[in-house]
Structure 1
Amino acid sequence: MNNCESEEIVEAANIAISNLLPTKSRSLYDINISKFPKLIAFLKRTGDGYQAKKSKILTKSEIDRFLSSADDKEFLMIKVGLILGIAGACRTNELVNLTVDDMEDVGSSLIVKIPNTKTKIPRIFVVTDVGNMLELFRKYLSLRPPYVKHKCLFFVLQSREM
């Protein structure tokens, strides 16, 4: 790549950057911060020692250990949510909105349909029988009380004792 090409790329990038802000509100964002020395000092003071928080990420071995060793009596719903969330790269809202009708157990795998996505494009994914994933899902569905009228996959039963 020669110098002329790199200048063209830089110019194209600058044009793209300048077009990111709407023309109506551009004046609100075009502020030269060097005119505000007290603001610069304040930002430096408050940002001193700041460390960005990183999300904790589970490793494959930690996930496998949780699925195999955590007590089903207490963690079965979380296990099913974890399996579906990872297999389908689901957002939290997509998991909350899943219904029993969105699942189809075809024996060797589970077909999951996500009808309402953030992008408005329905998605389908398959959970295969690796380990005891389908067994956990089937166990979770078998524990569903017959008197529950709604079709939500994940719900919490509350006792009426007070």
Structure 2
Amino acid sequence: MFKYAARMFCWHTSCLIIYDNIDISKFPKLIAFLKRTGDGYQAKKSKILTKSEIDRFLSSADDNEFLMIKVELILGIAGACRTDELVNLTIDDIQDVGSSLIVKIPNTKTKIPRIFVVTDVGNMLELFRKYLSLRPPHVKHKRLFLYYKAGKCT
């Protein structure tokens, strides 16, 4: 807990001044304590998939179980998409032009819509089309990603 507090020292200092009108610089022993307890703290790094790991997953993972995750991976990497951009993606945002997909991301964090293209490398388009064909016809909303389990979208 103290290591976390020491790491957030600078952020909390400004917050204490702004919100509580407390100037922590007047407490040198507290500052020294926080700095001392924060020595050796290292932030956890996110694990990053390599290209070979991605290719192996796309080619060898079972479509019955992982088809939606494969499509999310393809679109996420091709368009450098954030999680909320993938969640809000609709079937109207993707245009299949035969040899590639044209994907429009209208609602971005930066408020600037962007477009990217997914070309047919390996069987990426086949995976996308297979996933789209599993979409039940009675679904009332246009979101691309639905609940997927045991080879069925519901």
TM over 0.5, yes or no? yes
Question: Which ranges of structure 1 fall in alignment gaps of 5 or more residues?
Answer: 1-20
Mapping of 1:35-114 within 5 angstroms? 36-45=28-37, 47-114=38-105
Matched residue, 1:134: 125
Task: Encode CA deviations 1:132-156: one digit per residue, 9 max, x unaligned.
Answer: 0000000000111112121100111
Task: Work out which structure has the larger RCO, using CA pairs closer than 8 Å and 6 or more positions apart in sequence.
Answer: 2
Structure 2 Cα separation of the partners of residues 42 and 150 of structure 1: 51
Cα distance change, pair 61–43 in 1 and its aligned pair in 2 (3 A): same
User: What is the 5 A alignment of 1:115-134?
Assistant: 115-134=106-125
| Residue 119 of structure 1, CA deviation | 1.1
Secondary structure of the structure 1 residue equivalent to 2:92: helix
SS in 1 for 2:103: strand
What is the CA distance between 1:122 and its match in structure 2?
Answer: 0.9
- Any idea what SS the aligned residue of 2:107 has? coil
* Poorly superposed stretches of 4+, deviation over 3 Å: 28-33
Q: How many residues align?
A: 132
**Contact 2:103/2:117 (8 A) holds in 1:** yes
For the pair shown, the structure with the greater C-alpha radius of gyration is 1
1:48, distance to aligned residue in structure 2 (A): 4.1
Root-mean-square deviation (CA, aligned residues, Å) is 2.3
2:9 alignment partner in structure 1: none
What SS does the corresponding residue of 1:93 show, helix, strand or coil?
helix
Structure 2 unmatched runs, 5+: 1-13, 150-154
